[in-house]
Amino acid sequence: MKQGDFSELAESYIHRTGYSHKVIQELTRRVMVNDESTTADVGAGTGKLTEDLIKLGFKGWAIEPNESMRKEGIRLLGNVPFLWLVGSAEATGLPDACVDLVFMGSSFHWADPERALPEFRRILRPAGVFIAMWNPRNIECDPFHKEIEDWIHAEIPHLNRLSSGSNRYTQHIESTLVKGGFFKNVVFMEDTYKVEMSTDRYLGAWQSVNDIRSQAGEEKFQKILNHIADKVGDRSSINVPYKTRAWMVQAT
């Protein structure tokens, strides 16, 4: 499996959790959003963020380059009120000035900012916004999850958790978002919360982790899954802590 190729993981994404509605609502409250507003969820995957946006009353387009992920998203959510399209952050396929908001949920780290940001500015209407979000596990606050993560890093010392949304990746995100002059006025927001998962869902969510699997290889990744299953033991459910982190910028 290649890093960034989610073709074999689409069906496992159903086990993942969505994003903090509190963060989405608070950020978009600052924007002139109404019943006529339209949204682009770019790098939509199987629609985890799209589903949250639908629940909050948004509509528009879900843009996803990977066929397997896109098909799974359509299967789970349908094509209304978000129409699923083939596209990417660098080439959405949308017309000029057609949306009021652009979201990327746990996917901006796969994009080329020098091409993606002008593309987002092109498809946004005046005063439109781009919101980059991540939803990493908040493992530092929970010894159970911290021990698992530490064990994984001991097994794979060279591991680079590109997609974790951690401070290591996002420490320069504000300067990245305004580089080139396409966006301004950075606003940051985060929210911590917990999701109670069944054991099957928790282990299924680990099956969907691309960055560890691609770097560890199948044999060592299976060893990791077995270790996590042993750690879970006979628990019927797991409380998983999350931290939605989001950066919003306004089109210039």
pLDDT at 3: 52
In the predicted model, is pLDDT for residue 228 greater than 90? yes
Query: Mind listing the pLDDT tens digit for each residue in 1-28?
Result: 455 455 566 777 788 899 999 999 999 9
Higher-pLDDT residue of 168 and 249 is: 249
CB atoms within 10 A of CB 109: 19
pLDDT at 215: 84
* Band of pLDDT at residue 64, cut at 50, 70 and 90: very high
Where do runs of H (alpha helix) occur along the chain? 21-29, 48-55, 67-77, 113-123, 143-155, 167-170, 173-178, 199-207, 210-216, 218-232
Q: What are phi and psi of 157, to 5 degrees?
A: -60, -30
pLDDT at 94: 98
**Conformational region of residue 60, where left means phi above 0, alpha means psi within -120 to 50, and beta covers everything else:** left
CA separation for the pair 77, 68 (Å, rounded): 14
pLDDT at 111: 94
Q: Are 179 and 249 in contact (CB under 8 A)?
A: no
CATH architecture of 10-251: 3-Layer(aba) Sandwich (3.40)
In the predicted model, is pLDDT for residue 123 greater than 80? yes
Q: Are 46 and 76 in contact (CB under 8 A)?
A: yes
In the predicted model, is pLDDT for residue 230 greater than 70? yes
Query: Mind listing the pLDDT tens digit for each residue in 128-175?
Result: 999 999 999 898 889 999 999 999 989 888 887 765 566 767 889 999
Q: What tokens does 211 get? A: 């960055």
Amino acid at 209: V
User: Among all chains, which residue has been given the structure tokens 């931290």?
Assistant: 243
pTM score, whole prediction: 0.90
Q: Cβ contacts of residue 176 below 8 Å, gap of 6+?
A: 113
Residue 131 DSSP class: E
What is the residue extent of each domain of the chain? 10-251
Strands 82-85, 124-134: parallel, antiparallel or unpaired by DSSP?
unpaired
Higher-pLDDT residue of 75 and 164 is: 75
